[in-house]
Amino acid sequence: MICRAAILSASLLAACAFSAEFQVKTLDGQTVQGEYLGTEKEVVKLRSKYGVVQIPSRDIASLVRLNADGKRADGGDKDRGDPQARAEKPLFPEPRKPDIPFLVAARSERFTVPEPDKNERQELFRLVRNFADSNDTSRRKIIRSLQDYGRMAYPFIAASYTEPFDIQVRVDLMQALVVPNSPFAASILYEAHRDAERALTRVITAPPQLPPDYLTRRDREQPVDPVDGIRLAAQNVLRLEGYASVAGGPFNALFLLEVYRERYGAEKVEPLLIDLSRDRTRLANTAGDLKSSKSVWTLEDRRQLIEALIPLLFSDNGDLQILPRDLLKKLLPSGAPKWEASEEEWARWWKGVKL
């Protein structure tokens, strides 16, 4: 705390040669503006129009130097090394995009799976190979058999039907991963979802097809609607998100959070993908195994997700403000501020939280 006071004091004194007017924002949301008088015993003194104000340095969220005209001073490249510029950083910095495959690979090393023997490898290869040409009844049996193998089947599922023209079969095969408390399925679902989104983009941007030279009776009675292709491609994307929601765990939560943050933060998105109520519910369902004895959730997983979710509460986008609330209800400890509380109040509360 002494170090923080020293930094604030040094920053203010250094800036007094240019302007003695400062604006201070406190953690409880108050704003005070006035002439800097000095710092003593971790207390910053300002002379405002209402008199001398004393503010403990621990309660200061940001310091902003003002120009002579009362406007905020330019905080460009010249302030990068200034402690004052560092004090103005967001209370909840924007989280980096997670590397889902890397996170899954790093954690899964702690939960080893036996290597399949020769007979098991042959059986697993046969199951995924026959899936594409099987009828619905046989496909359901194959799905159940793959689920019985658990994570032993994951490499075979991940390596199958990866060509763009096989996307429909690949999405259907992903049903084998729809088992609650299956967090390590996230990397496979992530890759499949990425390819499904690419397939959707191709369908949307594809030029219209020329009509055939000859129309059969079926073509005349049931003409092909280009929208059907878009609808099917969008359905594949949404199915994979539903699978991730059921599989659950921290990695599927991070995966879906990144998908939804981009979706509802974008200026233009396919309308068939938009349903905030559905998506916030799916995101929250990933924490369904949070208290399970077989759960892989750690305190660091909770902290990482909470720190990625809280900034959305203060977004300028109304949908992004609502998106994280259901999941936060499951992750946050008791005593959290109300949704309408200021960012400063959330920051002050979170700073004192021990998970």
Q: What is the pTM of this model?
A: 0.72
Strand order from edge to edge, sheet including 60-65 = 51-56, 43-48, 31-40, 21-26, 60-65
Could you state, in order of their start, the residue ranges of all structural domains in the chain? Answer: 2-87, 100-208+223-351
Out of 2.10.109.10, 2.40.30.110, 3.40.50.300, 2.30.30.100, the CATH code matching 2-87 is 2.30.30.100
Q: If DSSP codes are grouped into helix, strand and coil, which group holds residue 94?
A: coil
Q: Rounded to the nearest 10 degrees, what angle do helices 299-309 and 250-265 cross at?
A: 10
Distance CA 310, CA 322 (A): 11
The DSSP code for 196 is H
CA within 13 Å, CB half, 51 = 1
* Residues 6+ away with beta carbon under 8 Å from 111: 184, 296
pLDDT in tens, the chain (355 residues): 444 444 444 444 444 433 457 787 776 667 888 887 777 767 778 887 777 888 887 677 677 777 766 666 544 444 444 444 444 556 777 778 889 999 999 898 888 898 999 999 999 999 999 999 999 999 999 999 999 999 999 999 999 999 999 999 999 999 999 999 999 999 999 999 999 999 999 999 988 776 666 666 665 555 556 678 899 999 999 999 999 999 999 999 999 999 999 999 998 999 999 999 999 999 999 999 898 878 899 999 999 999 999 999 999 999 999 999 999 999 999 999 999 999 999 999 998 888 7
